[in-house]
A = this chain, B = another copy of it.
Amino acid sequence: MDERITEHARTLVDWSARVERGDDVVVSVGAGAHDLAVAVCAELGARGANVVTTYASGELDRAYLRAHDGEFAASDAERALYEESDVVLRLGGPLNTTAMADVPGETQAARARAHQAAREARLDTRWVSTVHPTRALAQQAGMSFEEYRDFAYDAILRDWESLAAEMARLKAVLDDGSEVRLVTERDVQPSTDLTMSIDGRVAVNSAASVAYDSHNLPSGEVFTAPYATEGEAFFDVPMTLQGRRVRDVWLSFEAGEVVDFSAGTNEDVLADLLDTDPGARRLGELGIGMNRGIDRFTDNVLFDEKMGDTVHLAVGRAYESNFPPGHEDEANDSAVHVDMITDVSSESTIAVDGEVIQRNGRFRWEDGFEAA
């Protein structure tokens, strides 16, 4: 077995989920994630944890959902499984990233609503989502399988302790600051000049560990929940919404709301998204990607939004972890949360309260930062 699979499993079990003896651990095995599951089971055995393995397959879901009449009921068994679990490890690894392409979105949403209690019980555990590189993911990224594996392990097998320390510096700046301004000026595309308030909000140091309230491996971003957004933003990284490719999204904000927008392709999908509910026109997240093991976009948000030298803004739901205790109800509410990414590696600045903290991808505490 590739030694990196064993390293991945160790990172997941120890750094990310902090598994201890006696923990009841659910391991959700994607249809193409068998090899990672073997390595994870060995680590869990060595730590004296209990294991229940579940099976996650788009093909099974598709068959079930297409045959169902749509009147879904809550699953007591699924809820009970998660209620009695301490840790849930989701090992993604699809054999076909479009296996659910012919299942109507309403059907998926109806099942999700019926299973909300089980979902909440799962989110109450020390859950972590990761991904085992498969040929389907390589294909989605436009890479060979070997190349994609190198890419994925570069992203996953970081020195997380050291990255967490660096991200703590950015978190301190954002926690102390009141206003963020993001500026990008390039000749070949619309400019970005966006001002957001972050006063009273708490930044999360997303260091790929439940100890940091971070539930993705890889991670590597610091994010907060902005409001009172003013200005314009252009997103040069393509995204896939409802199975369709949306490029060159441009949003214009006034008093925290999107008042104008455009997209280079599939603009109607963007329009549908923004019309979901009132919260879909407000920002739920400002995230600053700091994982430099991720050096290109692969059409997979788990990786894309963590890429070093990028910023992402999400329209829709905000995370409660960005609010001080007792203020969680101030979080922007929406049925959606869609990340949009922009490259800030060149001709870009991020400023907090008027002071530039990043220019062209370099933070002010790094070698190569240009003071002005």
Contact = CB atoms under 8 A, between A and B. Distances in A.
Interface of A: 22, 24, 26, 29, 31, 34, 37-39, 41-46, 48, 50-57, 59-61, 63-69, 71, 73-85
Contacts of A85: 77
Looking at A31, A64, A71, A78, the one whose CB has the most chain B CB atoms below 10 A away is A64
21 contacts: A24-B75, A24-B78, A29-B55, A34-B59, A39-B63, A42-B63, A42-B67, A43-B67, A44-B67, A45-B64, A45-B65, A48-B68, A52-B54, A53-B54, A53-B55, A54-B54, A76-B84, A77-B82, A80-B83, A80-B84, A81-B81
B77 A52 contact: yes
A267 B322 CA distance: 69
A50 B77 contact: yes
Contacts of A50: 73-78
A37 B79 CA distance: 22
A24 B77 contact: yes
- Interface secondary structure of A, over-half rule: helix
B73 A84 contact: no
A31 B37 CA distance: 12
Given A54-B53, A65-B45, A81-B81, A60 B75 contact: no
Nearest to A83: B80
Nearest to A65: B45
B52 A57 contact: no
A106 to B, nearest CB: 15
A41 to B, nearest CB: 4
Given A39-B63, A46-B67, 17 more contacts: A22-B73, A24-B78, A37-B60, A38-B57, A38-B60, A42-B63, A45-B63, A45-B67, A48-B71, A48-B73, A50-B76, A50-B78, A53-B57, A54-B54, A55-B55, A77-B81, A81-B84
